[in-house]
Amino acid sequence: MRDPKRIPRILKLLEKIWLDNPDLRLAQLIVNCRPTVAETCPDLYYLEDDDLITRFEEVYKKEIENLSLKCFKCDKEIFDDTDFLDGTWFDASGNYGSAVFDPIADKGDVTLQIGICDDCMKAHKDKVLRSEYVRGAVWSQERFEPRDENA
C-alpha cells in the first residue's frame, strides 16, 4: 500500500504552487511536470507520487524557493512543506523611519515579512520587545523573555 502521508504533502505543495500561479488550470500544473515535454500523458498516469513530487519540485523550483522561509539571521529553515517549525514569522507594514522600505511609495497594501528561528530569538532576546495591547493601543512593553520549554 502506498503511504497515505504523501497525500497531505502533495496537496500542500500543490496548493502553494497553484496559489503562486492562479492563472494555470490544475491539469496544466500537472502536465507541466511530465518527464519530458515530448512525452504524452499516459506517462503521467503511471507516474508514482514520489516521482510526481520530484517533478513538481524540479519544474516549480523557483516558486518553491520563493515560499521557502528561512531564519533572517542564520538561514535555518523554519517552514517545511506543511508547517512552521521552530520559529516566528513577522509581518511589517512599515513606518516613517526606514530609508529602504516605504509602503506608501509602493502604492499598495505592501508588507515585508521575515522569519526568525527560536534559537536566534533566544540568543538576541535583549533586542526584542514584548508589547501588550489593550483596545488597539500599547498598554505595556517589556524585554521579551522566551518561554522555558522545560518548565
> Are residues 63 and 17 in contact, defined by beta-carbon separation less than 8 angstroms?
yes
Closest distance to Zn ion from the beta carbon of 2 (Å)? 36
Using alpha carbons only, what angle is made at residue 2 by residues 17 and 22, rounded to the nearest 5 degrees? 15
Q: Which range in 45-53, 59-67, 101-109, 112-120 contacts Zn ion by CB under 5 A?
A: 112-120
**Toward Zn ion, which CB reaches closer, 56 or 115?**
115
Among 9, 34, 55, 73, binds Zn ion (CB under 5 A): 73
User: Which of positions 84-103 make contact with Zn ion (CB under 5 A)?
Assistant: none
What is the C-alpha separation between 54 and 38, in angstroms, rounded? 18
What is the C-alpha separation between 39 and 54, in angstroms, rounded? 17
Among 27, 74, 123, 138, binds Zn ion (CB under 5 A): 74
Unique residue bearing C-alpha cell 503521467: 44
121 binds Zn ion (CB under 5 A): no
Closest distance to Zn ion from the beta carbon of 49 (Å)? 32
Which parts of the chain are beta strand (E)? Answer: 87-92, 112-117, 129-134, 137-143
Among 33, 60, 71, 115, binds Zn ion (CB under 5 A): 71
